């Protein structure tokens, strides 16, 4: 048996841990509640206990621990700056804490970066060297694999494509995320309903427009509702423009789209592709391009955190690690 | 004496060649006309002759030839796709042609990419590993150094930041280049003068508004003209938004701004900086950031083409090459 590794997916609600083999197959998993409201120390104890649960029972060594966490973090130092949904966490050196507790290397990654690695390692972008991963959910995050390596930047703050500015509506500065993430789609639907437009969404929301979310809009769009379709198409257009920027900047092989909003499917992807074709400088940017839906679903962070260990925090070429795996 | 190398700066008007030492110091240079109107074969003969002019007279070997050329080109194959200002040039394999003629390695680079290398090697970004170079001129080009290496992408089409979509206004999609390059500034000035606004530009243009260009706008702005200042400030705002995108994507050390429009100076850079500070997610993106004016001027392509040779087309770490140079 080759090296084993441990993954930690740290979320606001759940702590998930797993032990994987060096092919990133799951050997064991454990889920528990984060209980962030009980304070930082409690959550850290729960994290350590959750890791203990998946360590090899025979005492075999592990190669390292990979950590996927939300929000800004410094991948070099393993400090979580201010993870959303983890109240009271500010500049927590989770890397050092786990390194000290378990005596193994610890690699930390932002959840979107980790997902990008995972999709290259075992998902929709398997084996490609130039990959853009975009997640469209309550926010818009991204992870970028450039020439097989995770793009981090000087302090690990890179690959935040959701915060690219777009100037809209007579000079207002907005961003890709503010225009096209789930809450933006919901807000747009609500404001048009409040202005009196008719739509199946009004009935679906049972008269309470605050209940409208991107999932409901997706359902209405699939049922043929014109307003919902228009809003989904605008989301696809905006994400498409974001992709246009990223194609001109990175000239990648593959763009992978994940996150809840991507489940809307073709109604989102068709206008996205049309926008890509229309607004790129030359068809060379999209002729051989793939735009794929993310494949890994709920396990993406666990698999990606394992890939973080195998690639030493994304700094080794993930496609070479895979090459070794496939041999 | 260490290795010598040859640089070729291929422009629509002039062919410039030079021989450099391994510190990128100029040993000899030669300029001649491109005469593209006399056809491809003539120009290629003129290129070869211009290279002959700067080869070592003692027959000493050269390490390679670096080529800086405008427009899209494939740096892996050395094929110039369709260089602007070189009519009749389509898919010219200049890399192969020179390799065959001179029997040495040939490395080709887009002029903005070459300039980025040059500014890291000997200019405003000397020694930095994460660098964005933006040239604001008749177009907006860019070159990106990521972790010491030139960012090229799958087919060498990367780092075209001028084509990032920036404005979405009632159905109109515009790009950074279309909003903020020299011709865009001139067009905006003309259209406001045609609408009847008063400005010193009207007199400077001698009544012929078609004579207005970015340089004239810069002069008027420096003289205190309100309209010209507003137009320059809008240019700075747009370039600033482009920088905001690139900061979120790359988290770089330095942004270097070159090109004729950058000579306007503070009237452009002040609104640029204000925009950067206002629209980034967190001050961590700009707290330690430098935004510098390009330093290399007219020799930038010659120096950068030499750096292309030293870095094997930008694929070796340029800051390590410099480290060697400084020893």
| Pick from A29-43, A81-95, B28-42, B251-265: least confident | A81-95
Count of CB atoms within 10 A of residue A98's CB?
24
CB proximity B286 to A under 8 Å: no
* Joined tokens for residue A119: 């999709």
**B154 to chain A: which residues are within 8 Å by CB?**
129-130, 251-253
SS3 B174: strand
**A245 to chain B: which residues are within 8 Å by CB?**
164-165, 245
Residues A68, A9 contacting (CB under 8 angstroms): yes
- In terms of residues, how long is chain B? 327
List C-alpha distances in Å: B205 to A12, B185, B192. 63, 15, 14
Contacts of B225 (CB under 8 A, 6+ apart): B199, B200, B201
From the CA of A249, how many Å to the nearest CA of chain B? 4
How much of chain B, in percent, has pLDDT values that exceed 70?
Answer: 98
- In terms of residues, how long is chain A? 327
CA distance B127 to B134: 18
CB proximity A133 to B under 8 Å: no
Burial of A150 (0-12, 13-18, 19+ CB in 10 A): buried
Closest CA to A238 of A158, A291, A164, A159: A164
Mean pLDDT (whole number) for B12-23: 94
Strand A14-21 vs strand B165-169: parallel, antiparallel, or unpaired?
A: unpaired
What is the secondary structure of B277-315 as a DSSP string? HHHSS-GGGTTT-EEEE---GGGHHHHHHHHHHHTTTTT
Q: Which domains are assigned to chain A?
A: 4-110+297-326 (3.30.420.40), 131-293 (3.30.420.40)
Mean pLDDT in chain B? 94
User: What tens digit of pLDDT does each residue of B159-186 get?
Assistant: 999 999 999 987 799 999 999 999 999 9
ipTM of the assembly?
0.95
Q: Residue B324 pLDDT more than 70? A: no
Q: What is the pLDDT of residue B327?
A: 41
Please give the model's pTM, rounded to 2 decimal places: 0.95
Closest CA to A285 of B163, B176, B206: B163
Q: Residue B2 pLDDT more than 90? A: no
Contact B165 A163 (CB under 8 A): no
SS3 A30: strand
Residues A272, A134 contacting (CB under 8 angstroms): no
DSSP state at residue A266: H
Count of CB atoms within 10 A of residue B260's CB?
16
CA distance A81 to B8: 48
Q: What is the pLDDT of residue A327?
A: 41
Q: Which residues in chain B (208-267) have CB-CB distances under 8 A to chain A?
A: 241, 244-246, 248-253
Q: What is the pLDDT of residue B170?
A: 78
Contact B252 A157 (CB under 8 A): no
CA distance A103 to A116: 27
Per-residue pLDDT of chain A (327 residues; tens, 9 = 90+): 578 999 999 999 999 999 999 999 999 999 999 999 999 999 999 999 999 999 999 999 999 999 999 888 889 889 998 787 888 888 999 999 999 999 999 999 999 999 999 999 999 999 899 999 999 999 999 999 999 999 999 999 999 999 999 999 888 999 999 999 999 999 999 999 999 999 999 999 998 999 999 999 999 999 999 999 999 999 999 999 999 999 999 999 999 999 999 999 999 999 999 999 999 999 999 999 999 999 998 899 999 999 999 999 999 999 888 655 544
Q: What is the pLDDT of residue B323?
A: 56
| Pick from A34-38, B28-32, B305-309: least confident | A34-38
Q: What is the pLDDT of residue B177?
A: 97
From the CA of B317, how many Å to the nearest CA of chain A? 14
CB proximity B164 to A under 8 Å: yes
Q: What is the pLDDT of residue B241?
A: 98
- Mutation for testing the B interface, residue in A167, A237, A244, A316 having most B CBs under 10 Å: A167
Residues A258, A115 contacting (CB under 8 angstroms): yes
- Mutation for testing the A interface, residue in B153, B177, B181, B188 having most A CBs under 10 Å: B153
Contact A167 B163 (CB under 8 A): no
CA distance B151 to A108: 25
Q: Which residues in chain B (9-68) have CB-CB distances under 8 A to chain A?
A: none
Strand spans (E) along A227-305? 254-258, 290-293
Contact B252 A153 (CB under 8 A): yes
Q: What is the pLDDT of residue B322?
A: 66
Mean pLDDT (whole number) for B85-90: 85
């Amino acid at each position: 048996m080759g090296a084993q590794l441990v993954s930690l997916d740290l979320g606001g609600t759940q702590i998930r841990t797993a032990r994987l083999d060096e092919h990133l197959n799951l050997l064991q998993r454990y889920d528990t509640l984060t209980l962030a409201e009980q304070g930082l120390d409690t959550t850290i104890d729960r994290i350590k206990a959750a890791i203990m649960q998946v360590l090899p029972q025979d005492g075999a060594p592990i190669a390292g621990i990979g950590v996927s966490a939300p929000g800004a973090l410094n991948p070099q130092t393993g400090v979580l700056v201010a993870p959303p949904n983890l109240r009271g966490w500010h500049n927590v050196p989770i890397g050092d804490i786990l390194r000290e507790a378990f005596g193994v290397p610890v690699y930390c990654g932002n959840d979107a970066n980790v997902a990008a690695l995972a999709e290259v390692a075992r998902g929709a972008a398997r084996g490609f060297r130039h990959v853009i991963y975009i997640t469209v959910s309550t926010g818009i995050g991204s992870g970028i694999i450039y020439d097989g390596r995770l793009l981090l930047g000087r302090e690990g703050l890179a690959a935040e494509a959701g915060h690219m500015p777009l100037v809209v509506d007579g000079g207002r500065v907005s961003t890709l995320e503010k225009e096209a993430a789930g809450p933006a789609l919901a807000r747009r639907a609500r404001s048009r309903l409040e202005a009196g437009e008719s739509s199946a969404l009004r009935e679906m929301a049972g008269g309470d427009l605050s209940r409208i979310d991107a999932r409901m809009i997706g359902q209405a769009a699939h049922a043929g509702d014109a307003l919902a379709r228009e809003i989904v198409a605008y989301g696809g257009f905006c994400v498409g423009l974001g992709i246009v920027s990223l194609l001109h900047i990175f000239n990648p092989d593959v763009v992978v789209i994940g996150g809840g909003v991507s489940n809307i499917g073709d109604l989102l992807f068709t206008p996205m592709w049309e926008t890509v074709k229309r607004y790129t400088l030359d068809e060379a940017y999209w002729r051989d391009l793939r735009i794929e839906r993310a494949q890994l679903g709920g396990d993406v962070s666990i698999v990606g955190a394992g890939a973080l260990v195998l690639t030493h925090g994304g700094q080794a070429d993930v496609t070479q690690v895979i090459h070794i795996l496939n041999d």
